[in-house]
Structures are given as C-alpha cells and as structure tokens.
Amino acid sequence: MNVDSLDGRLLFAIPKKGRLYEKCISILAGADIQFRRHARLDVCLVLNHPIALTDHYIRVFLPASDIPSFVGKGNVDLGITGHDVILESQMQEHVTEELRLGFGKCALQVQVPEAGAIKTVEDLAGKRVVTSFEVLSGEYFGKLDDQLQLAGDNRTKIEYVGGSVEAACALGLADGIVDLVESGDTMRAASLHAIATVLETEAVLIKSRVPKHAAHSGLISLITNRIKGVVAAGKYAICQYNVSRDRLSSAIAITPGRRAPTISPLETDDWVAVSSMVEKKKLAQIMDDLVATGAEDILIFSLDNCRV
C-alpha cells in the first residue's frame, strides 16, 4: 500500500502477534471495524471507516515501547497495548489510558529458584536480577536498595535480556528474575516461584494526551464507545426475573445493575418483572441468592454488544 494513502486517516496501532493479538482482533470485530490485511504488510485499510490499522509486533519487529511511542509522540491516534509496556517505555506522560480491556491480565513478578536460599526480595537485594523490564525493575529495586541503605557495588545489579528470562537463574546469569506471569506454567517449569509482585497489568486502549488531528476527535470517540460496549458485553449479562413487591428491595440489592434495574409491573398487582445487568463471573451466586429471596422465572441472556 502506498504510504501517501495514509494521509488524513486515523491510525490505530495493535499488536501484530503474541498474547494480545487474537483478543484485539475480536475487539475490532465487535466494534464493527472491518479491514483487509494483505500478506506481508504491516498496514491495512479499514473498509467501513477512514481508519488505517497499523500492526506493530512489539517484541520482534519493533522495540517494546513502540506502540505507546507512536501514539504519544508520533501520528498514531489510538493503540492497544499492555499497561506494563506504557510504564516500561516511560510514556505515561504522553498517553492516556482510555479503557482497561479486561484481557491479557498478568503480573510482573520477582521470581527466584524454589530450592534456593533466597526467600524474600530483601534477600535478593544487592544481587543479580535479569529481566526484559529494565526500567520497572530498576525502579522497584532502586527503592528497595534505598530502604536497605545499600550503596555502590552493594546495590542490586539489573541486567537486560530480550528473551528466555526464566532460564537466567539455571544458566548462572542471575540470582533472581523479574518477568510477566500469566498462568505460572513457565515459572513452575523453570523451578521458580514468585516472592513479590511489581505490578498487575492488562491490555489497555490508549490515545495521545495531545490530540493529533482535530478532525478525528469524533471518530476517536465513536471507536472508544464501541470498544467500551464490546468490553461491557463480555463482562455483563442480562438477568430477568419476577418477584413479589414485598421482596423487591431485597432482590434489587442482589441485582442493582450498572446504574439501576428496570422494573415493570405485571398483571398480578403484587408482582413485578425486573431486568438488570449483572457481572458474568457472579451469575451462579446471584441466581442462588435470588431464589433464596423468593424470585421466580429467573432468566439469563448473553450480550453480543451494548452501549454503556
């Protein structure tokens, strides 16, 4: 595609591959952002909006800081990346986290060999730490070294490696590591265990703190609201039930909704129908509590999309 064809188009950066890619594609589909990406191209045109999706694989083709940097300092208007990437690239002053997306959740943790003598981060302070998160690890251990009054050569040594961080202890390069933990399978396979958490992270939708193009503000809001609807649809379901008026207050306490439940009178004077958005992860307990309250005809409806 000719680069000149990007002129005047809103640019939206997403990860090209990796743990966030499939969910990003699902988010775009739910937001009705239709695009065709040709093989071997990292830029594709959206078919139903004046948007260009720029795909940057932050760990292979570009440095990890690229998506926040392109959004914060370049001409890219929107992006999806990890909260940890923003902090590691020190771009939090240049981008705004518009929305936590609820996927890609993991923890940046300090890990050491299970069978080793190091049991706490205080034990690890002053020793060798290997990580691909050099900035965040440096800040974390810098504060710890200050608290322990470590100076000079006695301070913690942070060394950067771009991959296979979990092998650093077994291969004699480190006494401990700082790495992302999602399921914990890789950590356990390397006979490591976590002794501290540096931060919790997940995928976020970001935009520049300084608007690039005034003409794009309406489209940016439209896309952001659509993505909010997709995220909410994945998080909530609709719960409908009937309950007697004398038990309505107890039932509403169980299903308060995002703002308030919808209550409709039934032909039977002392009964009402209630419809409310409830969190999917709490569905089973909510239904049990409603039954105990006296609610009947309890139904759950999944959401494909919504606006909240």
Q: Looking at this protein, which amino acid is placed at residue 165?
A: V
β 176-181/157-160 pair status: unpaired
The residues near 81 (Cβ < 8 Å, ≥ 6 apart) are 13, 15, 20, 58, 67, 68, 203, 204, 206
Residue 78: name the closest of 207, 203, 231 by CA: 207
Listed as ranges, residues in the chain with pLDDT below 70 are 1-8, 34-65
The pLDDT of residue 192: 95
Closest listed residue to residue 255, CA positions, set 276, 234, 235? 276
pLDDT of 23 reads 85
Are residues 94 and 68 in contact, defined by beta-carbon separation less than 8 angstroms? yes
Q: What's the pLDDT score for residue 253?
A: 96
Q: What is the pLDDT of residue 152?
A: 92
Question: What tens digit of pLDDT does each residue of 19-41 get?
Answer: 777 888 888 888 877 665 655 55
Domains of the chain in sequence order: 3-103+202-212 (3.40.190.10), 106-201 (3.40.190.10), 236-302 (3.30.70.120)
Q: Where are the beta strands (DSSP E) in 175-270?
A: 176-181, 192-201, 203-208, 236-244, 262-265
Answer positive or negative: Cα dihedral of 10, 12, 13, 17.
negative
Predicted local confidence at residue 214, as pLDDT: 81
Rounded to two decimals, what is the model's pTM? 0.79
